[in-house]
Chains A and B, each alone.
Chain A
Amino acid sequence: DAGVTQSPTHLIKTRGQQVTLRCSPKSGHDTVSWYQQALGQGPQFIFQYYEEEERQRGNFPDRFSGHQFPNYSSELNVNALLLGDSALYLCASKSSHAGLRTEAFFGQGTRLTVV
């Protein structure tokens, strides 16, 4: 089992550009969440996808959008990049059958640097 895989591992973009990050969930998992971890901070919840729809969203602007595909993989898109968007972006997956316990498994993350 490959676990949660994210691509790319590192990315450098210019202010104003757009970026797409990708995530493949752990086998058997159908729910994907995205988190932003700024340097020296804990991860912050961006949103969660289940059944190809955004189910829950954190306090992030509309520049952050996502998508989930029928195979449960997911993309995170960020438009009009700002310097403050530089962070480690983490994808977490879980099974919808996990109930109240959010037994989320995290990927290695994508390090985004905006210059």
Chain B
Amino acid sequence: GEDVEQSLFLSVREGDSSVINCTYTDSSSTYLYWYKQEPGAGLQLLTYIFSNMDMKQDQRLTVLLNKKDKHLSLRIADTQTGDSAIYFCAETPLYNTDKLIFGTGTRLQVFP
């Protein structure tokens, strides 16, 4: 089946690291993505990881993938107030690469 779950809220202090978690059920997932949505805006692709990788680092962002547990995480180092947004994880199943299956989103709030 297709199901992607995320915790709803995360609050962190500016300068700390944020870790946003996601679990998915489809073992055929090819690529997994992290998108950011700011108020009143569309979705911005932050990073992605191919399913045969364990980790990907891109500047302040680190993606960890545990394929056995179907768990994906996004770590944001040195979190800034500009990072406050909703973060969505999404996956593309192997049997249907035409669509993205999104989680419900995690609202990240960064306080000074």
Contact = CB atoms under 8 A, between A and B. Distances in A.
Please name the 3 residue pairs, one residue from A and one from B, whose CB atoms are nearest each other, closest first: A42-B102, A106-B42, A45-B99
B105 A56 contact: no
Contact of A107 (B42, B45, B92, B101): B42
Given A56-B96, A100-B31, A43 B43 contact: yes
Contacts of B44: 106
A58 interface: yes
A35 B105 CA distance: 15
Given A106-B42, A108-B41, A101 B101 contact: no
A53 interface: no
Main secondary structure of the interface of B (DSSP, over half): strand
Given A42-B104, A106-B44, A108-B42, A101 B31 contact: yes
Contacts of A63: none
A92 B48 CA distance: 16
Which residue of A4, A106, A109 has the most chain B CB atoms within 10 A of its CB atom? A106
B63 to A, nearest CB: 14
Contacts of A105: 45
Contacts of A21: none
Contact of A58 (B30, B42, B92, B99): B99
B105 A42 contact: yes
Nearest to A41: B104
Q: Size range of the interface on A?
A: 20 to 34
Contacts of A4: 42
A86 interface: no
B101 A104 contact: no
B69 interface: no
A36 B103 CA distance: 13
Contacts of A42: 4, 88, 90, 102-105
Contacts of A71: none
Nearest to B43: A106
